[in-house]
Amino acid sequence: MIEIIPNYHPLVVHFTIALLSISVLFYLLRPLLPINHPWKEQWLNMANWSLWTGSVFTILTVIAGWFAYNSVAHDAASHATMTLHRNWAVPTALLFLVLAVSSINLAKKRIMPGLKFLSVSVIAAVLLMVTGWLVRSRGRLSLRFGSNVFTAS
């Protein structure tokens, strides 16, 4: 393990957040382009690959988060925040994994994502933001409680 942090969750979680957010952004912006715009296909590829790569990081993030939840020393306040974060993170991760599988099926059939897919993507993105916000606003686990980094002594 790297000396400055007691677990890998904070290393991989930001890749998950960035890649999944970018994927939703490109899925949503793509329909705004004119029908024959040359970027339309590129943006779909960007959205798909960001979602697929983000889903791999999501699996790593959930595994690392699970180990952190069960192994990092923490007090009652940070435990409550970690439990709330876990309870939002798992369904959010599952929803993005469902989207990834759906997008693979759509890509294989060369079908463009429709309104249902885009709507679920927006819901997943909102859940992702709420999941992160809970940690930032309810406990600042990384900094205040030292759950992700060693506190200075």
Q: Within 10 A of 88 (CB to CB), how many other CB atoms are there?
A: 18
Picking from 30-34, 105-109, 125-129, 138-142, which range would have the lowest pLDDT averaged per residue?
138-142
| Angle of CA points 100, 24, 149, to nearest 5° | 85
Tokens encoding 30: 């793509």
Task: Provide φ and ψ at 77, rounded to 5°.
Answer: -65, -45
126 and 74 Cβ atoms separated by less than 8 Å: no
Q: Mean pLDDT in the chain?
A: 87
Is the pLDDT confidence value at 96 over 90? Answer: yes
CA distance 27 to 142: 31
pLDDT band at 153 (very low <50, low <70, confident <90, very high): very low
Q: Whose CA is closest to 9, among 88, 89, 77? A: 89
pLDDT of residue 8: 84
Q: How far is CA 97 from CA 37, 44, 53, 66, in A?
A: 29, 17, 11, 17
DSSP string, 52-88: HHHHHHHHHHHHHHHHHHHHS---HHHHHHHHHHHHH
Predicted confidence (pLDDT) per residue in 110-142, tens digit: 999 999 999 999 999 999 999 988 776 654 554
* Number of residues written out for the chain: 153
The answer to whether 131 and 85 have CB atoms below 8 angstroms apart is yes
Higher pLDDT, 143 or 135: 135
